[in-house]
Amino acid sequence: MKFFVDTAEVADIRSLAEAGLVDGVTTNPSLIAKSGRDFKEVIAEICAITPGPVSAEVTATDAAGMIAEGQVLRSIAPNVAVKVPLTEAGLVACRRLASEGAMVNVTLCFSPAQALLAAKAGATFISPFVGRLDDIATDGMRLIADIVQIYRNYPALTTEVLVASVRHPIHLVEAAKMGAHVATLPPSVIRMLLKHPLTDRGLEAFLADWKKTGQSIL
């Protein structure tokens, strides 16, 4: 499974990339606004850190506007994936941009039927939002299982399932067991994956025993 980092904070991306935990990055208008920086400048900087796909989202709502913005975003770096919403206009833009060779991430997916439409429009990635479904008492992971099953039924569909709105490690583990291709995770959730009390306890014991020997490796 590929790990994308869901943030526009460059320092977090660089830190996680040093540990080999960044296969790509996803951003959205909310994350860019939170960073307080220039949109294009941030995307260019992120693209220089990772060679993997970096999702940059359009803000237009009509197809022509999305296509025009997508073409501008593509010009920032070759690894930009243009992010469009799962609307009819978004699918028109997806088809056009994909035909021009762009990677396209279709976002805000909440049903298997929507995911099938995005794949038919040529999406590189489909982003189903599991956490937001959980928030309204709906099983977000069921959506992932359904999309993975549908895509597997039709090998001609090459769209990758990019699990989004991941709130905790269980979302990630369940998605990996189902065979989802990618998960995009906030840096805080990636760091949660490292934590286990037995790891901490074991390390403390090893260090205590080593200290008793009075030795030094260096």
Read off the pLDDT of residues 44-90 as tens digits, 9 standing for 90 and up: 999 999 999 999 999 999 999 999 999 999 999 999 999 999 999 99
What crossing angle do the helices spanning 112-120 and 140-153 adopt, rounded to 10°? 40
pLDDT in tens, 171-180: 999 999 999 9
The CA distance from 208 to 43, in Å, is 45
Q: How far apart are the first and last CA of the chain?
A: 37
Q: Which range of residues forms the domain containing residue 86?
A: 2-213
Instruction: Give domain status of residue 218, yes or no.
Output: no
* Residue-level pLDDT at 163: 98
* Residue-level pLDDT at 173: 97
* Residue-level pLDDT at 126: 98
This prediction's pTM: 0.94
Instruction: Give domain status of residue 49, yes or no.
Output: yes
Residues carrying an active site annotation? 83
Alpha helices in the chain (DSSP H): 10-18, 29-35, 39-49, 63-74, 88-99, 112-120, 130-135, 140-153, 169-178, 187-194, 197-213
Give the chain's radius of gyration (CA, Å).
Answer: 20
Number of domains the chain is built from: 1
* Residue-level pLDDT at 74: 97
pLDDT in tens, 186-206: 999 999 999 999 999 999 999
Instruction: Give domain status of residue 201, yes or no.
Output: yes
Q: Please say whether the beta carbons of 166 and 128 come within 8 A.
A: no
pLDDT in tens, 112-159: 999 999 999 999 999 999 999 999 999 999 999 999 999 999 999 999
- pLDDT bin (cut points 50, 70, 90) of residue 31 is very high
Instruction: Give domain status of residue 30, yes or no.
Output: yes
* Residue-level pLDDT at 127: 98
The CA distance from 213 to 211, in Å, is 5
Element (H, E) at 136: none
- pLDDT bin (cut points 50, 70, 90) of residue 94 is very high
* Residue-level pLDDT at 15: 96
Burial of 185: CB neighbours in 10 Å, binned 0-12, 13-18, 19+: buried
Q: Please say whether the beta carbons of 74 and 105 come within 8 A.
A: no
Amino acid at 92: V
The CA distance from 128 to 106, in Å, is 9
CATH of the domain at 182: 3.20.20.70
Structure letter (DSSP) for residue 176: H
In three state form, how does the secondary structure of 10-28 look? HHHHHHHHHCCCCCEEECC
Amino acid at 52: G
* Residue-level pLDDT at 194: 93
Instruction: Give domain status of residue 69, yes or no.
Output: yes
